[in-house]
Amino acid sequence: MTTWVIAATVRSLERSAPWSSMRFHVRLWLLLCVGAVLFCVPAAAAPCPNAMSAEAFGASLLDLTPREIDSLRQFYLDRGNECAWSEDQVTALGAVLADAPDQGLDRARYHWDAVAALDGVPEAETTAARDFVATATALRYARDMVMGRIDLATVDADVDVPRPPDDLATGLASALARRTLAPWLANLIPADPAYGRLLLALHAYRERADRGGQPPILAGKTLKPGALDPRVAALKDRLRALGDLRAESLGPNWDAPTRLALEAFQRRHGLAGDGRMGDATLTALNQSDQEQERQIIVNLERWHYLGHVLPPTRIEVNVAGETAQLFDDGHVVLAMRTIVGASRHPTPILFSPAVEGIVLNPPWVVPASIIKNEIEPKLARDPDYLARSDMQWVNGQLVQSPGPNNSLGRIKFDFSNPFSVYMHDTPARALFAKDDRARSHGCVRLEKPLDLAVELLKRNDHWPRQRLSDAIDNGTTTRIDFAGGPPVVFAYWTAFVDEDGTVEFRDDLYGRDARLNAALAAQTNTAPAS
């Protein structure tokens, strides 16, 4: 009886909640309350001597993978094949699965409507079937939240991120036994505030899409501030709908509020903030709410893959955003622009346990691919190219000497990874002023390398800023090894939300969004109908 009262209360509050994110939090709060009540008033599972008798039905309904089936067999073997779920716990799970789209997940993947009906299952086997499928769907949901629906390393070859320990079956068994299912499910949600902010953006874009989008702005010549053009009115409508135009702006004229709003729109899409509506800006303006909702969902999928791996203290490079941030216990203490790999030389997605050392005035050992594709053609045109570039052959390797023209600049940061990439300075400082900074061979060039070195060496009294600067000016190659450096993460966020609530989008530089989106669509299309 308690279950049905709570369910009715949830539905009543949902109808009065003004938008989907509030409905999600209402449900989550009530589920936590349910967990607390059930912990104090335990309810025994229905008699069920052999839950694994429903394996064939559950495997067919959910299209279980061999790994999922093995996990389920071990789950029930550990409890002598007895059922694990009470009616109240099944209902609590159903409520969480109903809200799966609020986490960017696909509700159909869990087939909960079919579970509730259990069509085709003899009444004598209903309890075992419901128990088996509840366990299977709970573990699938848990893995989707903690591991991601898609292993990114199966979509792109240049991905190296450790997976969290797969102890979810043990955690579920403990939560069911201790009557703490609702808190356990809530703890599966990535805790990083950036994930929560992106969820709010998802809800907002869905609501706007549900209200119906706006017609596209027509193509034409570049619109500039002061332009008299019928498309100015459509531009204003679009900027107002997106929230960029908030100041009073009446009539068809291109006024100062319109220019400022367009510049804000351009900045949050990684475009040149010139206040002009050229082709690139027009394309971004004409993206539908549904397209941007999908872009957010793809990035939420990356959060499910990375969210339980990222520590609160880390160096994080957003390759798609061409930026880097140093986090200290979850707070950004340093941010900068970066130069990342060009489309022919994509920067990988990786996680490295720690920065292991800093090299001042590093020499550059030129990779064989660069020698073949770039150096040799230059030598054919200019035999003195090596001498003018401070390059010489050393033990069969082409090495560029340290100095102001060295391609690595004056500082290099070493960390272990299978792709032989690193972060470093550059003599081409002017490139950081450009909006398109995908220009390297895969390594990450940093706008503020000295500032990052100072932050990393703050606990080392032997290397204050002045000594670092003096050592750099000295010109001698110096390696500073240290323990306890923060992990390094190269991520690929094409949709993210700043701490002030600004929703940002970036181009899919390497096609990773497209490939991940296709993998998610294939997963949905191959799932059996519920």
Residues 323 and 183 in one domain: no
pLDDT in tens, 53-107: 888 888 888 889 999 999 999 999 999 999 999 989 999 999 999 999 999 999 9
pLDDT at 302 over 80: yes
Choose one of 144, 171, 199: the last residue of a domain. Answer: 199
pLDDT in tens, 423-480: 999 999 999 999 999 999 999 999 999 999 999 999 888 899 999 999 999 999 999 9
Q: According to the model, what pLDDT value does residue 78 have?
A: 92
pTM over 0.85: yes
Number of domains in the chain: 2
pLDDT at 418 over 50: yes
**Domain assignment of residue 444, yes or no:** yes
Q: What is the mean pLDDT of the chain?
A: 88
Residues 167 and 29 in one domain: yes
pLDDT in tens, 8-53: 333 343 434 444 444 444 444 444 443 443 333 334 444 576 888 8
Q: pLDDT-derived band of residue 252, with 50, 70 and 90 as boundaries?
A: confident
**Domain assignment of residue 371, yes or no:** yes
Residues 193 and 314 in one domain: no
Which domain, by its residues, includes 315? Answer: 310-505
Nearest to 440 by CA among 389, 498, 364: 364
**Domain assignment of residue 208, yes or no:** no
pLDDT in tens, 273-288: 999 999 999 999 999 9
Which contiguous run of DSSP H or E holds residue 440? strand 438-440
**Domain assignment of residue 523, yes or no:** no
**Domain assignment of residue 264, yes or no:** no
Q: Mean of the pLDDT values across residues 311-336?
A: 97
**Domain assignment of residue 350, yes or no:** yes
Q: Mean of the pLDDT values across residues 213-224?
A: 89
Residues 466 and 326 in one domain: yes
Q: According to the model, what pLDDT value does residue 20 have?
A: 42
d(CA 406, CA 424): 11
Residues 37 and 181 in one domain: yes
Can you list the alpha helix ranges (DSSP code H) found in 80-230?
A: 87-98, 112-117, 126-146, 152-155, 168-178, 181-186, 193-210
**Three-state DSSP state, 323:** strand
Choose one of 169, 199, 229: the last residue of a domain. Answer: 199
CATH of the domain at 322: 2.40.440.10
